[in-house]
Amino acid sequence: MQKTWWKEAIVYQIYPRSFKDANGDGIGDLRGILEKLDYVASLGVDVVWLSPHFKSPNVDNGYDISDYLDIMDEFGTMEDFDAVLAGLHERGIKLIIDLVVNHSSDQHPWFQAARTAKDNPYRDYYIWRPPVNGQTPNDWRAFFAGSAWELDETTGEYYLHLFTKEQPDLNWENPKLRHEVYKAMRFWLDKGVDGFRMDVITFISKDQTYPPYPETRFGDFTVYANGPRVHEFLHEMNREVLSKYDCMTVGESFGVTAEQALSYVGEGRHELQTIYHFDHVTVRNPHTFVNGWQDFNLQELKAIFYKWDRALGDQGWNTMYFGNHDNPRVISRFGDPAHHKASGKMIATLLLTQRATPYLYQGDEIGMTNCPFDAIEEFNDVEVLNNYKEFVEEKGADDAAYLANANIIARDHARTPMQWNTAPQAGFTTGMPWLKINPNYTEINVEAALADPDSIFHYYRQLIALRKANPALTYGANEDILPEHPQVWAYTRTFEGVCFLVVVNFGKTTQALPLDLSGYTLSLSNLNEGTPHTLAPYESRIYQRS
Ligand code: ISL
Ligand code: CA
């Protein structure tokens, strides 16, 4: 196993729209990020992943790109981008950007041209099929409700869109399209960008027979992943672009199982360096708004972690995250807002002591929680709104139940603006914010976190420093030493004769810790209970063996 910078990196994800608004229009922007670079650097992170900053009509907040070589109007200019990149580099932080090339926006000039005529030179940049018996070509459904096919009146054919109808899928079968993508990648790499997070990259190759949706898997979108040519395309992308730069890649890998993971990231594969799986964030709860919430237990979660650690630990490399812009807030999802500090720090402990590159999402470092949304109109996300239209308005699902589910899992929870201080609008903007601000900003905000030496923020800083000072926390073998325990997670991380022991109480009841701790010295803990063989709710400790 080779040591590399991207295995040792700690990544901080910025969702630009919600980070900091510098010009008072209510929308976060690049100048806003620039103002906060010292804050980001103070955490000790090595890499920033910036969610899409490209020109976009924002049907899906930038995940619908209308120009891969330009900046979103609301976010600023290319000079602003260059300033952010330079500012990060000056602080020793690398930048990876979001490559969204499974689909473009329907406003992209390629699609605008493609839809004008069947023989347009850009037609084949997208996926067109004639109607079958006057109906859609097959029964594929889109992620954000409804059919995955949209009829285009001009030519009487359907185009494929796995997401909204404003996000037509690009046709990777077409080598011209592939080379346009590689050109765009080179443009940003030549500017000095350090790599890519690749949006739904496992969907780029489609089964050219467009088979009917497997009946038994209705609503299971993993069927779109791992198409017949996906490895060939990634291999080509690696040969044409990635292999020529010292860059980092992480492929969003919805639908890739632990057993399939090495085929993407195995060292001899020359495809991607890492992938980002969904198994732990969807445990018992696939992302739907119509099913009720299912509780899960720690054993299920551990089983997922160790499956992935065994699959990639020695021959590939894992990633680790609890939150991002598509998931609820980590304390609301995996911890407990009633144990705000303790559970926020417990999640941090788990995040930063795995054999994997950790991804920290903006706001989690100050313990932001889910936002109470009182009515459907308060949501912004196309996923919540389109599914509401289909399931509640068209199919009669229960309105209150839908709202309750959305209050648990909606993506908007992660997208409410960053809470900087107690000023109006949490110091995010001087104008009207594009999305509701969580009313708890008066208590949970950056200024308060910085002023409190015992805050979640300072605990993240300490953890990050500990991880960086001790390669065993990055590279060490991970062994679960209480595999049967339903609420305590205890594991060792061992590397080159150094051994750490991590113990975590993943729940709201006090637990006995049935471990012999002689020979271990406490490195860091989230509570100061002083009772070694008892773990308070959400207590977590890191010991080093002397
Ligand atoms: O967000 C989801 C629910 O958790 C997923 O279904 C999500 O749509 C899927 O993981 C793909 O996500 C990525 O591509 C989407 C975009 O909306 C997401 O923000 C992005 O992370 C389409 O580009
Ligand atoms: Ca702005």
Specify if 151 maps to a domain. Answer: yes
Among 316, 319, 345, which residue's Cα sits nearest to residue 538? 345
Distance between CA atoms of 48 and 46, rounded to whole angstroms? 7
Burial class of 119 by CB neighbour count within 10 A (0 to 12, 13 to 18, 19+): exposed
Specify if 430 maps to a domain. Answer: no
Q: Does residue 216 surpass a pLDDT of 80?
A: no
Q: Does residue 285 surpass a pLDDT of 80?
A: no
Specify if 140 maps to a domain. Answer: yes
Q: Which neighbouring-strand residues pair with 169?
A: 103
Q: What is the pLDDT of residues 28-80, one digit of tens each?
A: 999 999 999 999 999 999 999 999 999 999 999 999 999 999 999 999 999 99
Distance between CA atoms of 95 and 211, rounded to whole angstroms? 39
Specify if 351 maps to a domain. Answer: no
Confirm or reject: Cβ of 287 under 6 Å from ligand 1. yes
**Ligand 1 center–CA 145 separation, angstroms:** 13
Distance between CA atoms of 207 and 230, rounded to whole angstroms? 10
Task: Summarize the confidence of residues 288-293 as an average pLDDT.
Answer: 70
Q: Does residue 112 surpass a pLDDT of 80?
A: yes
Active site residue 516: no
Considering 160, 178, 196, which residue would you say is the last residue of a domain? 160
CATH value at residue 486: 2.60.40.1180
Distance between CA atoms of 184 and 325, rounded to whole angstroms? 24
Distance between CA atoms of 152 and 387, rounded to whole angstroms? 22
pTM metric for this prediction: 0.97
Task: Summarize the confidence of residues 165-185 as an average pLDDT.
Answer: 98
Helix (H) / strand (E) containing 201: none
DSSP 375: S
Confirm or reject: Cβ of 420 under 6 Å from ligand 1. no
Q: Does residue 293 surpass a pLDDT of 80?
A: no
Among 25, 73, 29, which residue's Cα sits nearest to residue 50? 29
The pairing of strands 540-545 and 274-276 is: unpaired
Count of alpha carbons within 13 Å of 331, Cβ hemisphere only?
22
Specify if 540 maps to a domain. Answer: yes
Longest dimension (CA), the chain: 76
Count of structural domains within the chain: 2
pLDDT averaged over every residue in the chain: 96
CATH value at residue 114: 3.90.400.10
Altogether, the residues listed in the chain come to a count of 546
Under the banding of pLDDT at 50, 70 and 90, the label for residue 284 is confident
Tell me the residue range of the domain where 497 lies.
Answer: 474-545
Q: What is the pLDDT of residues 188-205, one digit of tens each?
A: 999 999 999 999 999 999
Considering 97, 128, 160, which residue would you say is the last residue of a domain? 160
Specify if 520 maps to a domain. Answer: yes
Q: Does residue 287 surpass a pLDDT of 70?
A: no
**Ligand 2 center–CA 417 separation, angstroms:** 12
Active site residue 157: no
Which atom of ligand 1 is nearest to 278's Cα? Answer: 10
Residue type for position 357: T
Model pLDDT, residue 203: 98
Specify if 333 maps to a domain. Answer: no
**Ligand 2 center–CA 530 separation, angstroms:** 48
Considering 130, 160, 190, which residue would you say is the last residue of a domain? 160
The active-site residue out of 21, 46, 80, 252 is 252
Specify if 19 maps to a domain. Answer: no
Q: What is the pLDDT of residues 397-416, one digit of tens each?
A: 999 999 999 999 999 999 99
Which atom of ligand 1 is nearest to 282's Cα? Answer: 4
Q: Where are the alpha helices (DSSP H) in 376-455?
A: 382-387, 399-409, 412-415, 446-451
Distance between CA atoms of 258 and 310, rounded to whole angstroms? 9
Judged by DSSP in three states, 408 sits in helix
**Ligand 2 center–CA 314 separation, angstroms:** 44
Q: Does residue 522 surpass a pLDDT of 90?
A: yes
Confirm or reject: Cβ of 411 under 6 Å from ligand 1. yes
Confirm or reject: Cβ of 254 under 6 Å from ligand 1. yes
The percent of residues above 90 in pLDDT, for the chain, comes to 92
The active-site residue out of 169, 199, 364, 412 is 199
User: Of the ligands numbered here, which is closest to the C-alpha atom of 74?
Assistant: 2
